Structure 1
Amino acid sequence: MRFEGKTAVITGGSSGIGRGTVDLFLREGATVVMGDIDEAEGTAMMSALGDNFLFKTCDVTQEDQVKALMDHAAEKTGGIDIVFNNAGAGGPRDAIDEISGDDWDFAMALLLKSVAMGIRHAAPHLKKRGGGAIVNTASICSFQAGFGPIAYSTAKAGVLHLTKVAAAELAQYKIRVNAICPGFIQTNIFASTVGANKEETQEINSVLGQAAASAQPVGRPGVPSDIAEAAAYLASDAAGFVTGTHLLVDGGMLVGTEGSWNPEIPGMLDAILPEHLR
């Protein structure tokens, strides 16, 4: 019961990583206030999850709705202790020589500005509590090319730096700010990026799950609970000395090239050196 007596605000909690975190935080004793654009699912969750779960419709690209979510959470529960800025989607897939300015602006609003405004409008309530914890969802896309579209990757890199700067500015109020960088997690985000229907989504998730299991040292795909556990750690008192940093939860994907961990793949030196020099 790490969060007994505490209020946690979670955005994008109707599915995937967010839903996994909602469930875990509730089990750990938190009162959870979720903001999401999926009104039907949010309402259904209120009926299913009990009195410690509250839902408010929130489009995180709209600052007034983000502020309303934070104010609603504080008003209904007495304050805010934890914020998980998690809402997001894959966004536009166009390359840099094709993407429109409007699509770029939308991606930044959804993936970066939403986090900034989540911090901005949660901070006054956290100050009133005498401190708290903010956790932001970044990505392995923050570190190198090849893991996601350019707008998504750029925004997620911005989330990392925002996390560090915000942690510095809010430290005086005993507010910690950290980020999680998920790898390939089995959620619907990849399917939604390409506009897949229900059947196509199941097919895409199956293929990605199989591919992820062999694309990283940890031989299985990531699941939402992997990220939820990381969020719970960073939000808990166990991480009381941790701020302004990030936690990679990627199955080891960024440890190095496949040759560094897969014995069936030649390492870089083995691939380029003549056999007698290996």
Structure 2
Amino acid sequence: MAGRLKGKVAVVTAAGQGIGRAIAEAFVAEGATVWATDRDVALLEGIPKAKKRKLDVLSTKAVNALAEKIGPVDILVNAAGFVHHGTALDTDERSWDFSFDINVKSMHRTIQAFLPGMLAKGAGSIVNIASVASTVRGLPNRYVYGATKAAVIGLTKALAADFIRQGIRANAICPGTIASPSLLKRISDIAAETKTTEAAVRQSFIDRQPMGRLGLPEEIARLAVYLASDEASFTTGQIHLADGGFVL
């Protein structure tokens, strides 16, 4: 069924690649007016019909300026994030602060900027990208990453509870291992560190998946379309796993 987001205005962060891009493209295909944003605006090329804007989600000033320019929106998707690798002993204060800034505080910035417009309209859907590495499951070498994504889940639930009577819905998607540029870089880095081939490292990721394959950004995008649409009008404050059975 097409046109599920017809007439709606959406903002998507980190829309240049991976999950964010797949969501932006899916929203356009479903009829939404999409403001696709990314820190590297060149990555936004090729997203059909989207309004493309440079946005550094680490800048409160930049986020507020974009919200003022766009005006009220119906949908906000927070897809910006960073995967830090390491244990508590490998995480210095700079890595901790940066991870929380981009993974959590960036969502706080966009929510504060776009929520008033949603409240004025009496409706809005906010979709935050979390992870199975969070309150869902503890994973090795994801110490601060797991902490940030657990915070995203808490933030999402609190947001949903605060504005449940004012037409605002907030949900979190918890992807598993997704074949994205971020994963490709991780594979390349691990291969270099362990002096093995990228093919072998990629296969090790695949071997850990119950379905025997990696997830696709487009599969996460389909879930985001549902949560953003009126089909999910009775759904809020929930985490939605798209992990290929990883946490079974």
- The verdict on a shared fold, with TM-score over 0.5 as the criterion, is yes
Following the alignment from structure 1 to structure 2, what is the Cα–Cα distance between the partners of residues 148 and 237? 38
Question: Which runs of no fewer than 5 residues in structure 2 stay unpaired?
Answer: none
Question: Which amino acid is the alignment partner of residue 26 of structure 2?
Answer: L
Task: Give the TM-score, by structure 2 length.
Answer: 0.89
CA offsets 1:45-94 (integer angstroms, 9 cap, x no match): 4xx623xx1122111112222222322222xxxx3000001111213x34
Write the deviation string for residues 131-166 of structure 1: whole angstroms up to 9, x where unpaired.
110000000101222255211110000000110001
Establish whether residue 167 from structure 1 lines up as the match of residue 149 from structure 2. Answer: no
Change (3 A) 1:118 1:193: farther
Name the counterpart of 2:65: 68
Determine which structure has more spread, i.e. the larger CA radius of gyration: 1
Q: Which has the higher contact order (CA 8 A, sep 6+)?
A: 2
| Alignment pair present for 1:131 and 2:143 | no
Question: Could you tell me which residue of structure 2 aligns to residue 15 of structure 1?
Answer: 17
Structure 1 counterpart of 2:83 = 90
Q: How many residues align?
A: 240
In the aligned structure 2, how far is the partner of 1:2 from the partner of 1:154?
A: 34
Within the alignment, does 1:108 sit opposite 2:122 as a pair? no
> Which whole-Å CA distance do the structure 2 matches of 1:148 and 1:138 have between them?
17
**For 2:140 and 2:74, how far apart are their aligned partners in 1?**
33
> Which residue type is aligned with residue 189 of structure 1?
S
When residues 148 and 127 of structure 1 are mapped into structure 2, their CA distance, relative to the original with a 3 A threshold, is farther
Query: What CA distance in whole angstroms lies between the structure 2 residues aligned with 1:66 and 1:194?
Result: 32
Structure 1 residue ranges without an equivalent (≥5) = 256-278
Q: Are the counterparts in 2 of residues 177 and 244 from structure 1 also a CA contact under 8 Å?
A: yes
What pairs with 1:1-278 in structure 2 (closer than 5 Å)? 1-42=3-44, 44-45=45-46, 49-50=48-49, 53-74=50-71, 79-91=72-84, 93-142=85-134, 143-146=136-139, 149-192=142-185, 196=189, 204=198, 207=200, 210-255=203-248
Pairwise CA RMSD of aligned residues? 2.2
Q: Distance in 1 between matches of 2:155 and 2:111?
A: 10
Provide, for residues 175-213 of structure 1, a one-character-per-residue CA deviation record: whole Å limited to 9, x for no partner. Answer: 0000000000001213445885xx99xx74x55653444
- Percent identity at matched positions? 36
